[in-house]
């Protein structure tokens, strides 16, 4: 049997779902291949979306016309805006989701997307035309040949996946799901480099056996914000999470089992994420700490299953359970399954263009954990860009590439293809040099128009943004023009802990004060309150956006100037202009790294580890000649 499509997406995780939906909406006949249609967009680890920098990525996906944000809104059972005590560049939305509802919402979207077809099967082999070095399709375990001009690989942790629980080893991509065999080898034989990485997941706990009265309750925000810039609603009941701590008894039992830990007995050779360490790694790295914080988080509304955040482990089952029962609230605990580590294949992302297309095989794209990243959000962002670019490639259109000053997704992809990875990559706000420009509140301002121009963001979404933009500007103009009399506002300023005015001023000057905000002042200035009541839709969102632009205008302007200076280097194209191996004026390391990466621009070259400012100056001089 043969099937014919424009684009094939291998794997229906978060990267695959966004890739398939984007390519189909851009007009490409798309086949999404998954082992199990009941595990589409499965949250393999924590059933939560967002977090530090990750929440920004989800809002960018939404602004571009992706679906992760709206699915999160529809399935959220707890919402929190993290880092509210810091500046708005650090605010990051996070939502705990109902795992099963998240899957069903994504499946509903995919099954009702025009041009998108789902095939339940497992891919065995990548098909490549050896003469043109272009992908032609795939062959599956059902012995079906599926033809396509582009293939997007989003196989997550399934490629030769191997799970570890103590000395026990099980082949699989997730617990109770088979590994993908042979596919890595069929790709690698064409000269694409690959390696092994490790990640892990914690024990799942039966909530009926937990003494919640002995834990600290962690409620969500009273006012829940949307991830999506559309009018999605959060209709599910909100549930709390719970906090507890390990203790010296727990640590002793865990340490006694370290000899059987795959991480320390040589069983696991690959590298895991530093920023999400297992509980045994915490004990070794932070040996002086007497306790570690744990978060017990619900998996959904209709289940007793809980996720124990902070207790990722690959220790033997008995060690995990006995250690848990030494925590007072878990003294009678029963578990659904233990934590485990998993090793899997990934491909060197420096062999990719910024479009996420392979430099070795034309028409082959990689997205998600196969690029050495970790996290649903990072995967979804890559999947969206891969899906967009595969569709544009087939249409003969210009590629869609996001710069580092345009999006966290741009930072993520540039880091991958320029620097590569030596451990699972996770996005942090600290990785973005322009984070004042890349706030979670303004992703629609940065990206919706660009997406609309290529045909992904709908006209309705674009008009939604234009209306919001209009009212943000109207709000700022009102604050610039409206005069406040000292005699009428000073009593209120004193109440609010702000210095009184010696003379009248424009309203915008008061808003720049740290203690004051637009909504706070509206309670004391009737004209402002009346104006705000004229905002027809998304009033709070518009007011917050206007206030951020007013309060942080100086920082935003300064960072924009810095970004524009770097953009000049982005405009200096150097790909194909130098034979780096023979440029003796460059350092040896620079020659090696530049030859390997073959950067598109001078700015990309400047971000390659081992390429010094003096090497960049040499290239600038040579470009001048």
Q: Give the pair of three-digit tokens for residue 146.
A: 């599926």
pLDDT at 272 over 90: no
Residues 590 and 534 in one domain: no
pLDDT at 414 over 70: yes
Last residue of a domain, one of 516, 534, 557: 557
What average pLDDT does the chain have? Answer: 95
Residues 549 and 465 in one domain: yes
Residues 613 and 535 in one domain: no
pLDDT confidence of residue 565? 86
Average pLDDT over residues 470-489: 97
pLDDT in tens, 172-198: 999 999 999 999 999 999 999 999 999
Residue 322 to residue 316: CA distance in whole angstroms:
10
pLDDT at 234 over 90: no
What is the SS3 assignment for 255? helix
The answer to whether residue 453 is domain-embedded is no
pLDDT at 1 over 80: no
User: Residues 422, 47: contact at Cβ < 8 Å?
Assistant: no
pLDDT confidence of residue 388? 98
Binning pLDDT at 50, 70 and 90, where does residue 620 land?
confident
As beta bridge partners, residue 48 has: 96
Binning pLDDT at 50, 70 and 90, where does residue 569 land?
confident
Between 216 and 222, the more confident residue is 216
Residue 381 to residue 515: CA distance in whole angstroms:
36
pLDDT confidence of residue 442? 96
User: For the chain, how many structural domains are there in total?
Assistant: 2
CATH number assigned to the domain comprising residue 488: 1.10.10.1800
Residue 242 to residue 244: CA distance in whole angstroms:
7
Q: How many CB atoms lie under 10 A from the CB of residue 331?
A: 13
CATH number assigned to the domain comprising residue 619: 1.10.150.570
Strand (E) or helix (H) holding 408:
helix 408-419
- Hunting for tokens 């007793």 — which residue is that? 304
The answer to whether the pTM exceeds 0.75 is yes
As beta bridge partners, residue 171 has: 162
User: Residues 204, 305: contact at Cβ < 8 Å?
Assistant: yes
pLDDT confidence of residue 585? 92
Residues 529 and 581 in one domain: no
The answer to whether residue 123 is domain-embedded is no
Last residue of a domain, one of 557, 591, 612: 557
**CA-based torsion, 448, 452, 457, 460: positive or negative:** positive
Q: Give the pair of three-digit tokens for residue 420.
A: 């590569």
pLDDT confidence of residue 368? 98
pLDDT at 233 over 90: no
Residues 552 and 588 in one domain: no
Q: Could you tell me the strand order of the sheet in which 48-50 lies?
A: 48-50, 92-97, 76-82
No. of helices (H) and no. of strands (E), the chain: 21, 23
Residues 521 and 607 in one domain: no
**CA-based torsion, 63, 69, 74, 77: positive or negative:** negative
The answer to whether residue 27 is domain-embedded is no
Residues 550 and 575 in one domain: no
pLDDT in tens, 597-616: 999 999 999 999 889 888 98
Q: Residue 385's closest CA among 374, 398, 399?
A: 399
Q: Residue 207's closest CA among 79, 336, 310, 318?
A: 336
Binning pLDDT at 50, 70 and 90, where does residue 625 land?
low
Average pLDDT over residues 249-267: 94
SS3 annotation, 555-610: HHHHHHHHHHHHHHHHCCECCCCCCHHHCCCCCHHHHHHHHHHCCCEHHHHHCCCC
Residue 548: domain span: 459-557
pLDDT confidence of residue 624? 78
pLDDT confidence of residue 216? 98
Cβ neighbours for 573, distance < 8 A, ≥ 6 positions apart? 600, 601
To the nearest whole percent, how much of the chain has pLDDT over 70? Answer: 100
Binning pLDDT at 50, 70 and 90, where does residue 159 land?
very high
Binning pLDDT at 50, 70 and 90, where does residue 276 land?
confident
Q: Residue 197's closest CA among 352, 356, 369?
A: 369
């Amino acid at each position: 049997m043969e099937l014919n499509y424009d684009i094939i997406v291998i794997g229906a995780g978060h990267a695959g779902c966004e890739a398939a939906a984007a390519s189909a909406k851009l007009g490409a006949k798309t086949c999404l291949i998954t082992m199990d249609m009941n595990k589409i967009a499965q949250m393999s680890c924590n059933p939560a979306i967002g977090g530090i920098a990750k929440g920004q990525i989800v809002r960018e996906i939404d602004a571009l016309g992706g679906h992760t944000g709206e699915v999160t809104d529809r399935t959220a059972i707890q919402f929190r805006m993290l880092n509210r005590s810091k500046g708005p560049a650090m605010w990051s939305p996070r939502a705990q989701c109902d795992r099963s509802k998240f899957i069903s919402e994504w499946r509903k979207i995919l099954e009702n997307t025009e041009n998108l077809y789902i095939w339940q099967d497992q891919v065995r082999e990548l098909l490549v035309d050896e003469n043109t070095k272009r992908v032609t399709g795939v062959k599956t375990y059902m012995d079906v040949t599926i033809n396509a001009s582009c293939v997007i690989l989003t196989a997550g942790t399934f490629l030769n996946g191997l799970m570890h629980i103590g000395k026990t080893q099980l082949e699989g991509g997730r617990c109770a799901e088979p590994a993908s065999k042979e596919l890595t080898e069929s790709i690698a034989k064409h000269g694409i480099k690959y390696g092994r990485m490790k990640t892990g997941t914690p024990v799942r706990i039966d909530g009926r056996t937990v003494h919640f009265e002995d834990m600290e309750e962690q409620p969500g925000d009273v006012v829940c914000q949307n991830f999506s810039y559309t009018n999605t609603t959060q209709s599910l009941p909100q549930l709390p999470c719970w906090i507890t701590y390990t203790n010296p008894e727990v640590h002793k039992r865990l340490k006694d089992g370290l000899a059987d830990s795959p991480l320390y007995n040589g069983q696991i050779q690959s590298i895991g994420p530093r920023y999400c360490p297992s509980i045994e790694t915490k004990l070794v790295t932070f040996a002086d700490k007497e306790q570690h914080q744990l978060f017990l988080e619900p998996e959904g509304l209709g289940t007793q299953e809980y996720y124990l955040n902070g207790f990722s482990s690959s220790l033997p089952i008995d060690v995990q359970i006995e250690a848990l029962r030494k925590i007072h609230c878990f003294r009678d605990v029963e578990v659904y399954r233990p934590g485990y580590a998993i090793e899997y294949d990934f491909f060197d992302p420096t062999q990719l263009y910024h479009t996420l297309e392979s430099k070795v095989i034309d028409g082959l794209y990689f997205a998600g954990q196969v690029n050495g990243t970790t996290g649903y959000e990072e995967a979804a962002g890559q999947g969206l860009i891969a899906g967009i670019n595969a569709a544009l490639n087939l249409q003969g259109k210009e590629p869609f590439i996001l710069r580092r000053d345009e999006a966290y997704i741009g930072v993520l992809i540039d880091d991958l293809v320029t620097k590569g990875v030596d451990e699972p990559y996770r996005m942090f706000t600290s990785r973005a040099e322009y984070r004042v420009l890349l706030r979670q509140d303004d992703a629609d301002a940065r990206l919706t128009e660009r997406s609309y121009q290529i045909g992904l963001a709908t006209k309705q979404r674009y008009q939604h943004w234009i209306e919001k933009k209009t009212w943000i500007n109207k709000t700022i103009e009102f604050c610039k023009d409206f005069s406040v009399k000292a005699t009428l506002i000073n009593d209120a300023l004193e109440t609010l802990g702000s210095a009184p005015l010696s003379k009248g001023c424009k309203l915008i000057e008061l808003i720049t004060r740290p203690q004051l905000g637009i909504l706070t002042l509206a309670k004391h200035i009737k004209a402002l309150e009346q104006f705000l009541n004229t905002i027809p839709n998304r009033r709070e969102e518009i007011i917050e956006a206007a206030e951020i632009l007013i309060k942080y205008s100086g920082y935003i302007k300064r960072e924009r100037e810095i970004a524009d200076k770097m953009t000049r280097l982005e405009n200096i194209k150097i790909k194909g202009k130098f034979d780096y191996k023979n440029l003796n004026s460059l350092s040896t390391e620079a020659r090696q790294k530049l030859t390997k990466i073959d950067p598109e621009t001078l700015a990309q070259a400047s971000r390659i580890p081992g390429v010094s400012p003096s090497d960049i100056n040499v290239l600038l001089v040579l470009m001048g000649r």
